[in-house]
Structure 1
Amino acid sequence: MVEIIDFETQPTTIDGLTLIRMKQVREDRGTVREFFRASAFEAAGLAMPAFPQVNVTETRPGALRGMHGESMTKLIAIAHGTAWGAWVDARPESPTRGAVFQAALEPGVQILVPEGVCNGFQSTGDTPTQYVYCFTQEWAPGMTGTAITPLDPALGIDWPLPVDEADRSRISEKDLAAPTLAEVLAAHA
């Protein structure tokens, strides 16, 4: 038996942040997912430049990464496992500045993250989450961007699993020490 799930895009509460369901073909042996097909993205009005860098992180269950908004567009997806994703619009000129969007992530779901929108996630399954990042620029230390602490209560992010702030296997010192959304917005007012 073959089931085909068509490519589909959905806007979110953040201008330019798009939730994407990959085209998938499911059959008895498993699933084939179209991670990226330029013509499908272009037909949806999401023309993408080349990806000069692709990273895969493996994150332990319960661990939290983010919120990072570099000066590049990112296409993210889950290759294995599950995660809870959150995005914050930190762009000074955006009509949705300060907006937060949250979604459950699993294989077959992607998010197109515009430049300057902060991206973070928590691994939620019983096994490590493999999170794929496609970047429109190569990452470099000190590159322009914004970071917000993912534990800022003003964000209202419903992280599904508790985070022990003293446990570096759950959250990095850098992410914990990042400014709050209010501090970021005030700095770019």
Structure 2
Amino acid sequence: MAAQINPMTVEATAIDGLLAITTKAVTDERGTVREFFRTSGFAELDVAVPDRWSQINMTWTRRGAVRGLHGESMTKLVGLAWGSAFGAYLDARPGSSTYGVHVTMRLEVGTQVLVPPGVCNGFQATSEGGCQYLYCFDAEWVPGMPGVSVTPLDPQLAIPWPIDLDPADPALISAKDAQAPAFGAGA
């Protein structure tokens, strides 16, 4: 079998600066190699990225659990190493032309999202066995850093989480996320 090469693609979303990315993948008899990040690949598609990533985290999240919505003052590149998830993003940047717009999308291995500073990022693990979610940050996370948190349960946003969520179950949502303010309530 000759290697099959699927190029990296980038698609704009309804939120200014929030980009949905399909990673470059090379597949042969042995499996697939995906480029999670290559500076020149982003440059070839005119996507501005930080000069360097300062912190990379990977979470394992159980099926049905939600993390977010968090909008720190840093650029994030997020994607999955394993499994599938449902991503939710909210523009919480005052003065942004898309302030208050929220976008949802299904995430799988090979799908990434470039999240600008101040845009809230959240997700729900949807695959059996949960998911492994990668975060690349252009700044190190520190307690109390500037940013906003919005409850993923905000009835005004009405995010259509694909798996029912019990707000009292700490295995599905942290108390901090469940009790974060609604978007219009000082988030």
TM above 0.5, yes or no, is yes
Identify the match of residue 70 of structure 1 among 69, 72, 87: 72
Query: Quick one: distance in 1 between partners of 2:185 and 2:168?
Result: 23
Note the aligned Cα RMSD (angstroms): 0.9
Equivalent residue, structure 2, for 1:161 = 163
> How many percent identity over aligned positions?
52
Q: Deviations over 1:69-116 (max 9, x none)?
A: 000000000000000000000000100000001000000000000000
Equivalent residue, structure 2, for 1:126 = 128
TM-score normalised per structure 1: 0.95
Query: Quick one: distance in 2 between partners of 1:34 and 1:115?
Result: 23
If each structure's helix is expressed as a fraction of its own residues, which one has the higher value?
A: 1
Equivalent residue, structure 2, for 1:151 = 153
After TM superposition, the runs of 4+ consecutive aligned structure 1 residues lying more than 4 A away are: none
Where 1:180 maps in the other structure, the secondary structure is: coil
1:103 aligns with 2:97: no
Q: Would you say how many aligned residue pairs link Structure 1 and Structure 2?
A: 185
Report the AA paired with residue 29 of structure 2: D
Equivalent residue, structure 2, for 1:41 = 42
Report the AA paired with residue 16 of structure 1: G
Report the AA paired with residue 35 of structure 1: F
1:19 aligns with 2:20: yes
Q: Deviations over 1:6-36 (max 9, x none)?
A: 1100000000000000000122211100111
Q: Where in structure 2 are there 5+ consecutive unaligned residues?
A: none
Deviation at 1:4, TM superposition (A): 1.3
TM-score normalised per structure 2: 0.96
Deviation at 1:166, TM superposition (A): 1.0
Where 2:93 maps in the other structure, the secondary structure is: coil
